[in-house]
Amino acid sequence: MAKCSYCGTSILFGGVKDEENRFCNERCHEMGFLVQVADRVPQEMLDQQVAATHQGNCPKCRGKGPVDVHTSHWIWSALVLTSWNSKPELCCRSCGIKSKLAGIFVSGLVGWWGFPWGIIVTPIQLIRNVVGLVSGPNPSVASPELQNLVRMELAARLVHASRQEHGVA
């Protein structure tokens, strides 16, 4: 299964392809230039920031870490309209479990009501949430998704600092 070069989300269908990179949507494609900047972030700086983030407090509940990227999957349908997405969040395991349980509840309730995608994608999203519940990120080590998120954040800071330095808004 393909992963977004910007946010690391799994891409089931579609996406935007740009040379060797693939993005989950147009927003991630637009932010794709950060991938090139992120490749130049010094490894030592990345390692320090990943460790600090992983062992820091949860941004959602302010509880103790470890903190990692937890992805919940959602779908809703109404006759011929169906919308689904995956929402990666930086949070502790407890908050990640709550998001996945909410995804299961909402998707199980309103995911089925569209034809054909609601019937097809709802079981996929439900299974993805259940798998995430039983096999979430290893709390003893930062996941590749967390490393990628921190890499992109550092790249965004570098771009912002460079723009301020050069007087560009």
Sequence ranges of the domains in the chain: 47-165
Neighbours of 146 (CB within 10 A): 22
Is the per-residue pLDDT at 167 higher than 80? no
User: Which one-letter DSSP state was computed for residue 111?
Assistant: S
> Which segment of 8-22, 49-63, 93-107 scores lowest on mean pLDDT?
8-22
Choice between 159 and 146, residue whose per-residue pLDDT is larger: 146
Preceding omega of 116 cis (within 30 degrees of 0): yes
pLDDT at 169 over 70: no
Are 41 and 150 contacting, i.e. CB atoms less than 8 angstroms apart? no
Q: Tell me how crowded residue 115 is: count the other CB atoms within 10 A of its CB.
A: 12
- Which residue matches tokens 């700086």? 45
Decide which of 127 and 3 is more confident.
Answer: 127
Question: What pLDDT digit, counting tens, does each position of 71-124 carry?
Answer: 999 999 999 999 999 999 999 999 999 999 999 999 999 999 999 999 999 999
How would residue 168 be classed by pLDDT, with cut points 50, 70 and 90?
low
Does the global pTM surpass 0.75?
yes
Interatomic CA distance for residues 115 and 77, integer angstroms: 8
